[in-house]
Amino acid sequence: MEVYIDGKFYPKADAKVSVFDHGFLYGDGIFEGIRLYEGNVFRLEEHLERLEMSAKAIMLQLPWTRKEIADVVCESCRRNNLTDGYIRLIISRGVGDLGLSPKTCPKPSIICIADKITLYPEALYTTGMKIITAATRRISPAALPPMIKSLNYLNNILAKMEALQHGYHECIMLNDQGYVAECTGDNIFLIHKGRLLTPASHAGALIGITRQVALEVAEQLGLKLCETNLTRYDVWNADECFLTGTAAEVIPVIEVDGRTIGSGKPGPMTARILESFRKKVSKEGTRIR
C-alpha cells in the first residue's frame, strides 16, 4: 500500500508525519471518509464541498483547487489498484512551533490513504444491530460546531468506548439539551407511521453524505421527510430505526436501550432504503480510470 503525503506516494511503513504537525499536536485539521465502489468514487463532489466548508470554518485556506484534491483521491485509488475501498483524506494545519497558534504553520499538509474498511460485522446488516444511549453528550455547537469534520474525535471516542464496555458496537449520543444527535460515526434515522425522521444538523448531527442519500431514496419511496428534534422516547417507539455512514453504509437497528424496535427484525422500509442505496453506489460516482 502507498500513501499520498504532500505531493508524493510513500510505502505504508514510510508514510509518516512530523510530531510538530498541529494535526498531531492539537487535532488541528479536518478530514473526509470517502468510498470507492466498482471503480467509482461515490459522491466525490459532495465530500470535497464538505471539506471546503470544514476548512472555511477552521480558517484553513486550502492551497489546492477542488480538481487537484479530486485528482489526489483518484490517483491514490489507482496507485493501490483498488476497485472498491475506503479513502481517508486528511488536511492538517501542518508543521509549526509548540503553542496553539496556527500562525506558526506556514503550509497545511494533505494526506490521502486509500484502503479497505469494515466497520461492523457483516451479519449485523441482515440481523440488525442493538445499540444503547451513551452518557457522553455530543459536543455543543457553541463549543465546536459538530458539522465540522475535524480531527478532534475524542468526544465520539469516549462515547464509543462506553458502547464497547457494555458489549455494544454503537451508541446514540444526545446533544447538550438531551435530544438525539447522532451515533459516534453514523447518522440516525427513524421510520414512524410512514414518515422518515432524523435530527437536524443544528441538533448536533454531522451533515452526512450517506444521510443525504438516505433522504433522497426515502423520498423516492414515498416517505415524508422530517428533520426534527427527537427524544429517546421517539426512538424507542419507532416502527424502524437505522444508521447511515460512509463506512457503515445503511445498517438496521433492532433494539435501543433494551427496548425492541418495531418487530425486533430489520424493518421493511429500511430494507428498501438499503436496496436503493446499494443500487445507487453501484451506478453513480466519479470514474477513477
Q: How far is the CB of 21 from ligand PXG (least distance, A)?
A: 20
Q: How far is the CB of 233 from ligand PXG (least distance, A)?
A: 22
Q: Which of 46, 108, 111, 107 is nearest to 72 (CA)?
A: 111
CA triple 155-156-161, angle to 5 deg: 105
Q: Which of 201, 200, 188, 134 is nearest to 165 (CA)?
A: 134
Residue nearer to ligand PXG on the CB measure, 85 or 208: 208
Q: Measured between alpha carbons, how far is residue 112 from residues 70, 140, 243 in Å?
A: 11, 29, 26
Residue nearer to ligand PXG on the CB measure, 35 or 93: 35
Amino acid of residue 97: D
Q: Which of 144, 146, 174, 178 is nearest to 159 (CA)?
A: 174
- List residues binding ligand PXG (CB under 6 A): 33, 119, 156, 182, 185-187, 206, 208-211, 244-247
Residue nearer to ligand PXG on the CB measure, 1 or 247: 247
What b/e sequence results for 231-256 when a residue is b if at least 16 CB atoms lie within 10 Å of its CB, and e otherwise?
Answer: ebebbbebbbbbbbbbebbbbbbbbb
Q: How far is the CB of 212 from ligand PXG (least distance, A)?
A: 8
Residue nearer to ligand PXG on the CB measure, 58 or 119: 119
Q: How far is the CB of 45 from ligand PXG (least distance, A)?
A: 13
Q: How far is the CB of 158 from ligand PXG (least distance, A)?
A: 13
Residue nearer to ligand PXG on the CB measure, 21 or 182: 182
Q: Which of 48, 44, 117, 111 is nearest to 84 (CA)?
A: 117
**Residues with a known catalytic role:** 149
Q: Which helix (H) or strand (E) holds 199?
A: none
Q: At what angle do helices 209-220 and 44-57 cross, to 10 degrees?
A: 130
